[in-house]
A and B are shown apart, each in its own frame.
Chain A
Amino acid sequence: MTQLDRPPGAPDPVSVPFTPGMRDNPDELAQFGDEIARDPEVKHDPTPTEEFTEEWRNASYNCFSSGHKFCREVCPVMQVTRNESWTPTAFHANVVAMDKGELSIEEVAGDYVNCTQCGACELRCPNTLFTGDFYRFRTRTVDVVKAVRAFAVESGIHQPAWKTWNARTDDKTHEPVLGEIPIKQENVRDWSAGLDIPIGGESVLFVDCEAAYYRTSVPRAVAQILQLAGYEFGLMGEQWCCGGPAAEMGYVDQAQRFARHNLDNWRSTGTKRILVLDPHDYISFTEDYPKYFGEEFDLEVVLVVELFAELIREGRLTPSVPVERAITYHDPCRLNKRKGVWKEPREILRSIPGLDFSDVDRVTQWSYCSGGGGGLPVEKPELTAAISASRLEKAAALEVDTLVSACPWSERPLSAAGEAVDIDVVDIHELLAASLGIEVGGTTNGSANGSAR
């Protein structure tokens, strides 16, 4: 039924309920003239702002027209600042205001720093919750934030710390994760000292910059677990930054240049499969690279947390050394919220003997974030610290001694916040390695120039 029978005396089909667009609707419905509604005006010589808002207008209107702000209480930045100007809805409303000629990119650019791109807002949005993507109108705040940041850079508006950071990364082909300490391309494999890992091959382990230089215990744990399971893999010949952070901060050209380098390098070593331990890389390789290269990007991307869960399931890895710790697990935003990966890390943790695991359900964790993503710690470290402190407060309420994460980028800010409440922050791969009897080595604080000797 699309149309109730028109009762006698009803003047026209609009006076009774109907479902617009159904084939059996009366023709009269399409024949009403319209006093107001018009097709949007097509600008022949659009300004850069007009071009930008033309592309993003409807995406932002989908949020603006809802305006209910359910996203607000799960937004990590909002939780610590309580500043409505830095909420997902504001990010969309600004675009609408730009479209109406009320705000300019110069006026709005600074506000868009205040986002970790964790994606919680998208999950909590009624547009997503209620109808999924049925109308292809899912709210995509992360994309809008990235787009505005890119438009700002394109317009010559830079955030000072991001600008420096990207310039340095460009210079070194790596992110300056160690601040002023110089790192070079030849240091990119220092973390693997003594592990005897070949270069290239069908499967290559890609190690993000934070893990390669700062938290070297993480890639060491991953590599040794793979070796223990007899999984053949190599390292990249010349590994550049994945380009993800540049893309997140709006430095699109740089991001694509880096991506091109990496893709070419994989081609040169016959690589078919990339093993990824960092959730941010996982986003780059599964979302950004396919966008840049289309079908040319035909490599398989394997998240090692998922691989390890599978190897444990198959009996190829059997954690047996008890780890006597009271833990809870921090779902990295890019795994749980953005990619829906939450089961496998828990599977791994449940397989480790000795752990007293106080789990928090994955939906509750939508409102948790370390604050370490989206370039926030580069431009506003104090906000990252506040968000991490808030995360650790929640862990402390569970009376645990250890917070386990699966994201190297979260671990530095979480560890710093953990000191205040006497909670250790440990990487899930390291914890698994310990239970497999592996002496990991490496550092968790970037000491000794990131090398692991």
Chain B
Amino acid sequence: MTVTVEALDELVTALRTVLADDQILTSKTDRYNRARVPAPFPVHRWSERLPDLAVLPTSTEQVAGVVRIANELRVPVVPRDGGTGLTDGAVPLRGGIVVDVKRMNQVKELDLENRTVTVGTGISMLKLNEQLAKHDLFYPDDPASYPCSLVGGRIGTSGWSLIGSRYGHSRDLVLSFDHVLPTGEVMHVGDGIGHKISKSSSGYQLKHLFMGHQGTLGIATEATLKLFPKPEAELSPFWAFDNYDDAYRCVGALARAGVATFAGAVLFDEWKVAYLRRDDEAYIPQPNDVRALVCAVMYGYEDEVRPAGKRLFRIAKDHGARYLGDEISEGDWAARHDRYATPLHGRTKAGQVVPMSWHCEDAAVNYTNLPSVSRAWHEIVADLRRRTDVFDDWGMFTYTSGSTGVDYLTEIDVGIWEQQLDDRAWEMWVKAKRDIAAVALAHNGSISACHGSCREGEVDLVPQELGRGFDVMLDLKRTLDPNNIMNPGKYLLDRAYETGPHA
């Protein structure tokens, strides 16, 4: 606990001026369950990451009220949406107040003419799309955590979407939002000041600044989103290859083809196929000669997806692909959100099945650097594995990030036997993360394309990646959050307060 009992009483009393009693949670279970995200976690140090309390506001005004009080009392504030983030944005490092926005989950306005919807940021994409389906519309932000991550978390992370090559990612799909600044002031931020504007040249482009900050610059409370027609047809062929190189070349060719309905392509490397093979009996049989897999995804109208599919099939065939058939293709793509959550079958080198947490490290890397990054990352994990069975290599995915194939999200999946974590194992892991990030930078990549990079390990290299840009981050942080109350300790932003009047 970071605040004293007396200070906590004062805080609760102050919060009661803006919230009802059932919106202020102080019990131990309430706090423990808001310290945890899916990323592996030093469970033996759980108690170091607890908030002092959690609040469940229902409106922008209430969020603003809470932040204003926190700013006056100098209490840390950590926004929590779905709590599915992998860079620990929602994990409190200095106690304080967790602002849990899950009760702000209403659809406020559906504009069928301009094709937008305005929602509370506590709604999940799945629940939103259930409501939009009645109007043959959908909101195509499609993270692996689609069923349970929330719009606000997508904004705070500037998340990456599995079908972003066609529809764009969160930053493209979120038109504007209400945002509570660290002082408790409320602003509306979009391209320009637009509510439903998708492109503006007016003023600085502030929207990006207030996305992906992992809660260090405030809290998004209500967002206006861009909508698309619900796709009539989906085509998601999976192809098998007997070697990685052909599969790699195939993905590049698919992405460069410039097919308009192309929503993404995914490459599974040899380690990933070996990992999936562990599940042969349970899931999809992978014949012995399969060493790599490629999946392409197209969305659109039936009469545009069909010919586009023919073209991509032709490209795949030219690269030595073997089509795995409709059943596997459709089933595997349909399971895309579940497949990422493939816990429980971590294995020791000897083969014992043990409960392991799934974790992935990601980076944005240019196409030409993918094979080299892949080799270097596997070697880092192999080294962990040589030393202990706490770590398991679950292989790598590479996804197109955009429609032209310039750069890719690439991730390595690592199983971590969390029950066995201790300080030594944790230190080994943090160092591995640092090394993984260093490889990405050495290849002119970015540390993260997907999850953010504010966690122990990778965050150490963020100043190196951004250079002078990191100092701009510090300047902005100091200006917007003079008392360092928003998610303190993240992104090395404490450095903003090390000199000058706020030290």
Cβ contacts under 8 Å, A37 to chain B: 348, 388-390, 417, 420
Contact indicator B425/A36 (Cβ below 8 Å): yes
Contact indicator A73/B351 (Cβ below 8 Å): no
Contact indicator B33/A85 (Cβ below 8 Å): yes
Cβ contacts under 8 Å, B103 to chain A: 82
Instruction: Check: B355 CB closer than 8 A to any chain A CB.
Output: yes
Give Cα A15–Cα B380 distance, bound, in whole angstroms.
Answer: 10
Least distance between B435 CB and chain A CB atoms (Å): 16
Give Cα A67–Cα B335 distance, bound, in whole angstroms.
Answer: 17
Contact indicator B29/A94 (Cβ below 8 Å): yes
Which of B335, B389, B428 lies in contact with A130, CB distance below 8 A? B335
Cβ < 8 Å to B, chain A residues 1-57: 1-2, 4, 12, 14-15, 17-22, 29-30, 32, 34-38, 40, 57
Give Cα A108–Cα B30 distance, bound, in whole angstroms.
Answer: 10
Which of A20, A34, A35 lies in contact with B278, CB distance below 8 A? A20
Cβ < 8 Å to B, chain A residues 82-122: 82-85, 87, 89-90, 93-94, 96-97, 100, 102-103, 107-108, 111
Contact indicator A93/B282 (Cβ below 8 Å): no
Least distance between A340 CB and chain B CB atoms (Å): 19
Cβ < 8 Å to A, chain B residues 63-121: 80, 82-84, 100, 102-103, 105
Beyond A70-B337, A70-B341, whether A19 also contacts B32 by CB under 8 A is no
Interface segment, A58-66, A280-288, A369-377? A58-66
Which of B102, B145, B353 lies in contact with A82, CB distance below 8 A? B102
Instruction: Check: A69 CB closer than 8 A to any chain B CB.
Output: yes
Which of B36, B83, B339, B389 lies in contact with A34, CB distance below 8 A? B389
Query: Which residue from chain A places its CB closest to the CB of B279 in the assembled complex?
Result: A131
Cβ contacts under 8 Å, B347 to chain A: 20-21
Contact indicator A34/B47 (Cβ below 8 Å): no
Instruction: Check: A421 CB closer than 8 A to any chain B CB.
Output: no
Cβ < 8 Å to A, chain B residues 377-402: 378-379, 382, 385-390, 392-393, 395
Least distance between A88 CB and chain B CB atoms (Å): 11
Contact indicator B349/A67 (Cβ below 8 Å): no
Least distance between A296 CB and chain B CB atoms (Å): 34
Contact indicator B389/A85 (Cβ below 8 Å): no
Beyond A35-B387, A37-B348, A100-B46, whether A126 also contacts B343 by CB under 8 A is yes
Instruction: Check: B418 CB closer than 8 A to any chain A CB.
Output: yes
Beyond A107-B29, A129-B335, whether A65 also contacts B356 by CB under 8 A is yes
Give Cα A73–Cα B348 distance, bound, in whole angstroms.
Answer: 33
Q: Scoring B residues 277 to 288 as 1 if CB is less than 8 Å from chain A, else 0, what string do you get?
A: 111011100001
Instruction: Check: B127 CB closer than 8 A to any chain A CB.
Output: yes
Cβ contacts under 8 Å, B100 to chain A: 84
Cβ contacts under 8 Å, B357 to chain A: 64-67
Give Cα A32–Cα B43 distance, bound, in whole angstroms.
Answer: 26
Which of A22, A85, A94, A127 lies in contact with B344, CB distance below 8 A? A127
Cβ contacts under 8 Å, A69 to chain B: 38, 82-84, 148
Contact indicator B395/A17 (Cβ below 8 Å): yes
Interface segment, A132-140, A179-187, A212-220? A132-140
Beyond A17-B274, A69-B82, whether A30 also contacts B349 by CB under 8 A is yes
Instruction: Check: B27 CB closer than 8 A to any chain A CB.
Output: yes
Instruction: Check: A146 CB closer than 8 A to any chain B CB.
Output: no
Q: Scoring B residues 343 to 371 as 1 if CB is less than 8 Å from chain A, else 0, what string do you get?
A: 11101111111011110000000000000
Which of A84, A94, A134 lies in contact with B282, CB distance below 8 A? A134
Cβ contacts under 8 Å, B389 to chain A: 34, 36-37
Contact indicator B32/A65 (Cβ below 8 Å): no
Give Cα A49–Cα B392 distance, bound, in whole angstroms.
Answer: 31
Contact indicator A85/B271 (Cβ below 8 Å): no
Instruction: Check: A68 CB closer than 8 A to any chain B CB.
Output: yes
Instruction: Check: B124 CB closer than 8 A to any chain A CB.
Output: yes
Which of B124, B289, B428 lies in contact with A73, CB distance below 8 A? B124
Contact indicator B355/A65 (Cβ below 8 Å): yes
Give Cα A1–Cα B84 distance, bound, in whole angstroms.
Answer: 35
Instruction: Check: A72 CB closer than 8 A to any chain B CB.
Output: yes
Give Cα A36–Cα B376 distance, bound, in whole angstroms.
Answer: 24
Contact indicator A58/B148 (Cβ below 8 Å): no
Give Cα A70–Cα B125 distance, bound, in whole angstroms.
Answer: 12
Contact indicator A135/B345 (Cβ below 8 Å): yes
Give Cα A20–Cα B425 distance, bound, in whole angstroms.
Answer: 21
Give Cα A134–Cα B273 distance, bound, in whole angstroms.
Answer: 19
Contact indicator A67/B37 (Cβ below 8 Å): yes
Cβ contacts under 8 Å, A18 to chain B: 274
Contact indicator B33/A130 (Cβ below 8 Å): no
Contact indicator A65/B358 (Cβ below 8 Å): yes
Tell me the count of chain B residues lying within 8 A, CB to CB, of chain A: 86
Instruction: Check: B342 CB closer than 8 A to any chain A CB.
Output: yes
Give Cα A420–Cα B387 distance, bound, in whole angstroms.
Answer: 64
Give Cα A297–Cα B56 distance, bound, in whole angstroms.
Answer: 48
Cβ contacts under 8 Å, A40 to chain B: 419
Cβ contacts under 8 Å, B288 to chain A: 1
Instruction: Check: B304 CB closer than 8 A to any chain A CB.
Output: no
Contact indicator A85/B30 (Cβ below 8 Å): yes
Contact indicator B278/A19 (Cβ below 8 Å): yes
Contact indicator A72/B33 (Cβ below 8 Å): no
Give Cα A98–Cα B32 distance, bound, in whole angstroms.
Answer: 11
Contact indicator A82/B343 (Cβ below 8 Å): no
Contact indicator A73/B126 (Cβ below 8 Å): yes
Cβ < 8 Å to A, chain B residues 451-492: none
Give Cα A62–Cα B418 distance, bound, in whole angstroms.
Answer: 11
Give Cα A140–Cα B220 distance, bound, in whole angstroms.
Answer: 35
Contact indicator B425/A127 (Cβ below 8 Å): no
Which of A67, A82, A87 lies in contact with B38, CB distance below 8 A? A67
Give Cα A20–Cα B387 distance, bound, in whole angstroms.
Answer: 16
Cβ < 8 Å to A, chain B residues 5-38: 25, 27-30, 32-34, 36-38
Give Cα A444–Cα B339 distance, bound, in whole angstroms.
Answer: 46
Instruction: Check: B338 CB closer than 8 A to any chain A CB.
Output: yes
Contact indicator B46/A94 (Cβ below 8 Å): no
Contact indicator A130/B339 (Cβ below 8 Å): yes
Contact indicator A90/B343 (Cβ below 8 Å): no
Contact indicator B83/A84 (Cβ below 8 Å): yes
Cβ contacts under 8 Å, A90 to chain B: 29, 33
Cβ contacts under 8 Å, A82 to chain B: 56, 102-103, 105, 122
Contact indicator A61/B419 (Cβ below 8 Å): yes
Give Cα A82–Cα B106 distance, bound, in whole angstroms.
Answer: 12
Contact indicator A4/B270 (Cβ below 8 Å): yes
Beyond A17-B271, A94-B33, A100-B44, whether A85 also contacts B148 by CB under 8 A is no
Query: Which residue from chain B places its CB closest to the CB of A66 in the assembled complex?
Result: B343
Give Cα A30–Cα B352 distance, bound, in whole angstroms.
Answer: 11
Least distance between B214 CB and chain A CB atoms (Å): 18
Give Cα A44–Cα B342 distance, bound, in whole angstroms.
Answer: 35
Least distance between B132 CB and chain A CB atoms (Å): 14
Query: Which residue from chain B places its CB closest to the CB of A63 in the assembled complex?
Result: B343
Instruction: Check: B424 CB closer than 8 A to any chain A CB.
Output: yes
Give Cα A62–Cα B354 distance, bound, in whole angstroms.
Answer: 9
Give Cα A326–Cα B289 distance, bound, in whole angstroms.
Answer: 56
Contact indicator A19/B277 (Cβ below 8 Å): yes
Cβ contacts under 8 Å, A64 to chain B: 355, 357, 418
Which of B25, B37, B43, B350 lies in contact with A20, CB distance below 8 A? B350
Query: Which residue from chain A places its CB closest to the CB of B344 in the assembled complex?
Result: A137
Least distance between A264 CB and chain B CB atoms (Å): 41
Least distance between A79 CB and chain B CB atoms (Å): 9
Please give 9 more A-B residue pairs, beta carbons under 8 A apart, in addition to A36-B390, A132-B282: A12-B386, A32-B386, A36-B388, A61-B419, A68-B340, A84-B80, A85-B29, A130-B283, A130-B338
Nearest 7 A/B pairs, CB to CB: A21-B351, A67-B38, A134-B282, A17-B274, A126-B341, A20-B347, A1-B288
What are 12 A-B interface contacts by the 8 Å CB criterion? Answer: A1-B289, A30-B349, A36-B428, A65-B344, A67-B38, A68-B38, A69-B84, A82-B105, A85-B25, A94-B32, A126-B342, A131-B279
Where the two chains meet, the residues of A that have a C-beta atom closer than 8 Å to any C-beta of B are 1-2, 4, 12, 14-15, 17-22, 29-30, 32, 34-38, 40, 57-58, 61-62, 64-70, 72-73, 82-85, 87, 89-90, 93-94, 96-97, 100, 102-103, 107-108, 111, 124, 126-127, 129-132, 134-135, 137
